[in-house]
Structures are given as C-alpha cells and as structure tokens.
C-alpha cells in the first residue's frame, strides 16, 4: 500500500495494490501544480481522509475538482465530477506526497493534456527522475 500526506498532516491518501505507471501531465493545471498522478476509483483502491478545500476546474475540461489542504496548501488529489457508466468516480492522488523511496521506481507516463490528449512515447523515466 502506498500512502501520502500533505505537509501539515491534515490530509492523507492511501492506494492499495499496484499503482501502475504514474502520469505527468502538461495541461494548464497540472504543470502549475507539478503533481504526478496515480489513478483509480474513489473509495475502492484509493481513499482520502481529512477535510480539504476544493477548486473546480473550468474551461476546456470542467469535469474535475482539485482537493488541497486548507492549512498548508498541498494538492492531494483530483476527483472527477462525472460518474462513469458503471457508477464509479475517477480519482487520482498526487504521488509527490508519498515518501520518495516508496514511489521512486514507478514509471512515468507523459500525457499531453495541453493539446492532443494523448500519451507521449515512454522514455524510461521514473518518479525519481522527476524530483528535480
């Protein structure tokens, strides 16, 4: 199980099982946050605890809300506003809030959220390569 916490410890997330590859997105929001995302469904393999403040993304894709700590400001997760056809809700947690050694080996998928909404070819970089 992976875990992450905001700087002050008020918000936490857990992700059970294999997180798969981690997404680095270049959209107008993700590039500003510098977040690296691991995905699943709310209250299935991913659980978030604590009270968050919320920013609802408007514009090109107004289907996300960003949850962040009202005390220290760390971005903890995004949550889809629309339910999937099976009734589940997508969520992604920011793996930069995990201890580095627990996520350093995870492969990065680079996603072009700015223009094409397609993945770039994998280049072998891992989370540890994105810390700097």
CB atoms within 10 A of CB 103: 23
Exposed/middle/buried for 93, CB within 10 Å: 0-12, 13-18, 19+? Answer: buried
Phi, psi of 66 (to 5 degrees): -100, 130
Binned at pLDDT 50, 70 and 90, residue 59 comes out as low
Helix, strand, coil fractions of the chain, as percent rounded to 5:
10, 40, 50
Per-residue pLDDT of 13-32, as tens digits, reads 999 999 999 999 999 899 99
Per-residue pLDDT of 81-97, as tens digits, reads 989 999 999 999 999 99
Number of domains in the chain: 1
Exposed/middle/buried for 127, CB within 10 Å: 0-12, 13-18, 19+? Answer: buried
pLDDT computed for residue 57 by the predictor: 82
Domain that holds residue 100: 2-130
DSSP 3-state assignment of 106? coil
What CATH code is carried by the domain that includes residue 42?
2.170.150.70
């Amino acid at each position: 199980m992976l875990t992450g916490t905001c700087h002050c410890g008020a918000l936490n997330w857990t992700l059970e099982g294999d997180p798969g590859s981690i997404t680095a997105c270049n959209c107008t929001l993700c590039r500003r946050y510098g977040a690296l995302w691991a995905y699943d469904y709310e209250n299935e393999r991913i659980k978030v605890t604590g009270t968050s403040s919320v920013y609802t993304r408007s514009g090109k894709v107004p289907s996300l809300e960003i949850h962040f700590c009202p005390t220290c400001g760390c971005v903890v997760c995004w949550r889809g506003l629309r339910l999937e056809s099976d009734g589940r809700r997508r969520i992604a947690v920011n793996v930069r809030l995990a201890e580095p050694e627990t996520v350093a080996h995870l492969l990065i998928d680079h996603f072009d959220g700015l223009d094409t909404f397609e993945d770039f070819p994998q280049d072998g970089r891992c989370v540890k390569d994105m810390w700097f």
